[in-house]
Structure 1
Amino acid sequence: MTGKPRHIGVAERRARLGLRHRLAPSARAARPEEVADALVALHGTDPATVYLAVGARLVDAGVTVAEVDRALYEDRTLVRMHGMRHTVFVFPTALAAVVHASTGLDIAAKARAGLVKDVATGSDGRLSEEWLTLVEESALAALARRGQATVNELTRDEPRLKEQFVYGAGKSYETPQTVSSRLMRVLGVEGRVVRGRPLGSWTSSQFRWAVAPPHPELPPAEARSELLGRWLIACGPATEADLKWWTGWKVTDVRRTLAAIGAVAVSLDDGVTAYVAAGDEEPVDGPAEPWAALLPGLDPTPMSRQERDWYLDPSLRPALFDGSGNVGPTVWWDGRVVGGWAQRPDGETVWRLLAPKGVGRDARTAITAEAERLQRWVGTTRVTPRFRTPLERELAAG
């Protein structure tokens, strides 16, 4: 693009959010795969987030649990694996190779080196790198035979997984660790195993493991271009700070990839330069109607970038985020966060406005309808966010 960069204001950014993130009723999806493809990645650290994030974006939220289970565990069109910033996400399976090559390789190399060092040091040399290699090969063979297995099941096939070593010997954080807990995590970031079906309901954090489906090994630069191009379509315009935060890449890799894909510079309301994907520069009209949404903790929309002031007033952060920067359940009205919600022990979904300006009767009616919609499909299931925030705790306590 030549000349002055096109300006994209807050109103248009919010319009893009409603449409691209499938939050406006007219943009809702029919299947979980459409949601994951639109968002690129669903946060999977809290298992319930995946289902709640999908349900908020489906035309028929009542099919959420069965449809997500189908996609994850039957058709395997979605896969839960480690990705950006060493975080667990749910991706379209077709993106597994892209995520692995663009972000996983560097993380995996560091995780492997750390494991080898910690095991050897914490066992006074008793557990060597060669020993670890034999154990992991045996464990992977056992996992392949079983199809899916818990760590406890694998330790019955390979008892050496139960061996312990001391992590941080002599430090204030010294603690015993089991080989199995660290090894399975490393195999996960290496793309050799993935999370399988959980033990219990869709809210359970206890997962089985499975051998990762095969995927091609892509050149890292090519994979970074594919990932960033997709993400800009979903979340652009985005600043370099947003991109560095979301990907976990070095700023040099971010800049190199922006140039490689021909990303187009635009200006934002605060004068900061941001980027959109090539061909995505044209103005975007907003949804035909204002929209309301109740999004779960760690939802990809509020967690998609570092700079959030254009949709989340900074004064709301203390109530809606925990001390580590994890967002809790949020209430949205027409492209901005206006409050939070929680589920009480009796199953009632309750919400509170924190930014009532501009939230009139129609907005409150729409938010109430979304709360009722959520409560209907969740039914008797009780959902407690893994990372609890001040407002969520207060609302849940009644």
Structure 2
Amino acid sequence: MSDHERRARLGVRHALAPAFRAGSPESVTRAMTVLHATEPATVYLSCWARTGSITIAAVDRALYGDRTLVKQLAMRRTLFVVPRDLLPAVWSSASARVAGTERARMAKDAVLAGLAEDGHDWIDRARAEVLAALADAPDGRSALEIRQAVPLIDVTAVGAGGLSPAGRVLTHLGATADIVRGVNGAGWYTSRPRWTLMRHWLTEVPAVGGAAEGYREIVRRWLYTFGPGTEDDLVWWLGATRSVVRTAFRELGAVAVSLDGGATGWLLPDDLDEVPDPGPWAALLPVLDPTVMGWQRRDFYLGPHREQLFDNRGNAGTTAWVDGRAVGSWVQDETGVVRVRLLESVPAAARRLLNAEAARLTAWLGGFRVPSLYKSPAMRPEPAPAPGPTP
């Protein structure tokens, strides 16, 4: 499968080409398998980019009203928005793996910090007390309210990643799906969740199967969204092992295809045909958008721009796309107007498409400037022009 065909799939499968845009936050999320939610604004901007028109209220409805989309810590210890029907697969596989790793680290750190002689016993007591504090709070509690209710975790020792014991216990309970980031007490662009018992948040908590079954379902959806992808791509994206990925490929009957450059990619057995021609398209995607973060091997859409579009920790900044290739980034000026910053020359017709997307996003944001912790080199302020000669 050529890089040209892979880029065509981006326009079609990722709902980025105008003729293939989605109609709701749920259909956007299903198209992408999951949405990145490390930065709260990314969820809204990823939905905006893939729909003709969508409101913040529509995304809030899916997240906090109907709860058809749920925030869940999963692959690579990353926060995602997950379609409700995919939760059992995620819980039993990627989230369970993250929870196990987090527990082992937290138990060790609890002993090193002098919180307990037995780290696992401390974790069990902390978890039980947090769950008890949330049992009579169907609307959830803030992290501060939980710390006040559970003195055991309201201590100052700081562990891995700069998280306090309270933060780590809440993170672990979120990974095990005992609790969930519920109603957001802040704006759409920031995160201030009221932690809520999962059984309070979802009136019917779906049953969870085995880890292999869960990984198989995630891999199946990933292959449809991102395929063809390499084994390395999936090992990285899942944060799993080669054994897990190879088992899923075998059980799904995945088919090997050759990729430009000589690598081997994989597709579902009923997904070998070419996709429809998406036509010309342009897109402006937010930081950590699932399209740019979908593969480990990214040359077929990044070309020579990897160092400009990713920070030194591997986090993608904003990206500007033309026909399946990332050709630059976008920023906002002091008044909130969206400006495209190209890293290469593009045809005039493509530039018009990018300008139209910039105008559409400017109007949607209505002057609001989106904050971000992740800024790629391409997003940084442009240097001031050198002063001219002194008269």
The one-letter code of the counterpart of 2:62 is A
- Asked if the contact 2:159–2:165 (Cα under 8 Å) also holds between the matched residues in 1, the reply is no
Question: Whole-Å Cα distance in 2 between the matches of residues 181 and 58 of structure 1?
Answer: 35
The one-letter code of the counterpart of 2:31 is A
Question: Whole-Å Cα distance in 2 between the matches of residues 385 and 136 of structure 1?
Answer: 32
What is the match of residue 372 of structure 2? 385
Equivalent of 1:150, from 123, 129, 142?
142
Equivalent of 1:333, from 306, 322, 333?
322
CA shift, 1:382, in A, is 1.8
Report the 3-state secondary structure (helix = DSSP H, G, I; strand = E; otherwise coil) of the residue aligned with 1:197: strand
- Asked if the contact 1:343–1:384 (Cα under 8 Å) also holds between the matched residues in 2, the reply is no
2:171 matches 1:185: yes
What is the match of residue 371 of structure 1? 358
> Is the alpha carbon distance of 1:245 and 1:167 closer, same or farther for their aligned partners in structure 2, counting shifts above 3 Å?
closer
Equivalent of 2:4, from 8, 11, 25?
11
- TM-score, scaled to structure 1: 0.90
1:334-373 correspondence to structure 2 within 5 Å: 334-356=323-345, 359-373=346-360
- Asked if the contact 1:343–1:396 (Cα under 8 Å) also holds between the matched residues in 2, the reply is no
2:155 matches 1:163: yes
Report the 3-state secondary structure (helix = DSSP H, G, I; strand = E; otherwise coil) of the residue aligned with 2:327: strand
CA shift, 1:39, in A, is 0.3
CA shift, 1:136, in A, is 2.0
Report the 3-state secondary structure (helix = DSSP H, G, I; strand = E; otherwise coil) of the residue aligned with 1:165: coil
Which residues of structure 2 form unaligned runs of 5+? 386-391
CA shift, 1:332, in A, is 0.4
Question: Whole-Å Cα distance in 2 between the matches of residues 46 and 222 of structure 1?
Answer: 29
- Asked if the contact 2:109–2:119 (Cα under 8 Å) also holds between the matched residues in 1, the reply is no
What is the match of residue 213 of structure 2? 222
> Is the alpha carbon distance of 1:135 and 1:322 closer, same or farther for their aligned partners in structure 2, counting shifts above 3 Å?
same
What is the match of residue 82 of structure 1? 73
Report the 3-state secondary structure (helix = DSSP H, G, I; strand = E; otherwise coil) of the residue aligned with 2:157: strand
What is the match of residue 294 of structure 1? 284
- Asked if the contact 2:36–2:80 (Cα under 8 Å) also holds between the matched residues in 1, the reply is yes
> Is the alpha carbon distance of 1:132 and 1:240 closer, same or farther for their aligned partners in structure 2, counting shifts above 3 Å?
closer
The one-letter code of the counterpart of 2:378 is L
> Is the alpha carbon distance of 1:397 and 1:275 closer, same or farther for their aligned partners in structure 2, counting shifts above 3 Å?
farther
What is the match of residue 30 of structure 1? 23
Question: Whole-Å Cα distance in 2 between the matches of residues 30 and 79 of structure 1?
Answer: 18
The one-letter code of the counterpart of 1:23 is L
CA shift, 1:155, in A, is 2.2
What is the match of residue 210 of structure 1? 196
Question: Whole-Å Cα distance in 1 between the matches of residues 6 and 378 of structure 2?
Answer: 27
Moved over 4 A (4+): 395-398
> Is the alpha carbon distance of 1:108 and 1:124 closer, same or farther for their aligned partners in structure 2, counting shifts above 3 Å?
closer
Equivalent of 1:255, from 220, 236, 246?
246
Question: Whole-Å Cα distance in 2 between the matches of residues 166 and 333 of structure 1?
Answer: 44
2:183 matches 1:197: yes
Q: Per-residue CA shift, 1:206-237, capped at 9, x if unaligned?
A: 32222224231211111111110111011100
Superposed CA RMSD: 2.0
> Is the alpha carbon distance of 1:334 and 1:205 closer, same or farther for their aligned partners in structure 2, counting shifts above 3 Å?
same
> Is the alpha carbon distance of 1:142 and 1:125 closer, same or farther for their aligned partners in structure 2, counting shifts above 3 Å?
closer
Report the 3-state secondary structure (helix = DSSP H, G, I; strand = E; otherwise coil) of the residue aligned with 1:363: helix
Question: Whole-Å Cα distance in 1 between the matches of residues 15 and 78 of structure 2?
Answer: 23
2:122 matches 1:135: no
The one-letter code of the counterpart of 1:291 is W
Report the 3-state secondary structure (helix = DSSP H, G, I; strand = E; otherwise coil) of the residue aligned with 2:300: coil
Question: Whole-Å Cα distance in 1 between the matches of residues 6 and 277 of structure 2?
Answer: 9
CA shift, 1:166, in A, is 5.8
Question: Whole-Å Cα distance in 2 between the matches of residues 127 and 208 of structure 1?
Answer: 30
Question: Whole-Å Cα distance in 1 between the matches of residues 176 and 369 of structure 2?
Answer: 34
Which residues of structure 1 form unaligned runs of 5+? 1-7
CA shift, 1:247, in A, is 0.7
- Asked if the contact 1:25–1:59 (Cα under 8 Å) also holds between the matched residues in 2, the reply is yes
> Is the alpha carbon distance of 1:97 and 1:297 closer, same or farther for their aligned partners in structure 2, counting shifts above 3 Å?
same
Which shows bigger deviation, 272-281 or 121-130? 121-130
What is the match of residue 13 of structure 2? 20
CA shift, 1:165, in A, is 3.3
Q: Per-residue CA shift, 1:72-108, capped at 9, x if unaligned?
A: 0010000111010111111101111111112122221
- Asked if the contact 1:321–1:390 (Cα under 8 Å) also holds between the matched residues in 2, the reply is yes
- Asked if the contact 1:344–1:395 (Cα under 8 Å) also holds between the matched residues in 2, the reply is no
CA shift, 1:157, in A, is 2.2
The one-letter code of the counterpart of 1:391 is A
Report the 3-state secondary structure (helix = DSSP H, G, I; strand = E; otherwise coil) of the residue aligned with 2:302: coil
CA shift, 1:137, in A, is 1.6
- Asked if the contact 1:320–1:330 (Cα under 8 Å) also holds between the matched residues in 2, the reply is yes
The one-letter code of the counterpart of 1:43 is H
Aligned residues: 379
Equivalent of 1:303, from 284, 293, 309?
293
Question: Whole-Å Cα distance in 2 between the matches of residues 41 and 264 of structure 1?
Answer: 23
Equivalent of 1:104, from 95, 108, 117?
95
> Is the alpha carbon distance of 1:128 and 1:321 closer, same or farther for their aligned partners in structure 2, counting shifts above 3 Å?
closer
- Asked if the contact 1:341–1:395 (Cα under 8 Å) also holds between the matched residues in 2, the reply is no
Question: Whole-Å Cα distance in 1 between the matches of residues 103 and 383 of structure 2?
Answer: 40
- Asked if the contact 1:80–1:194 (Cα under 8 Å) also holds between the matched residues in 2, the reply is yes
Question: Whole-Å Cα distance in 2 between the matches of residues 138 and 310 of structure 1?
Answer: 50
Q: Per-residue CA shift, 1:347-398, capped at 9, x if unaligned?
A: 1111111121xx2111111111100111111113220222111221226999
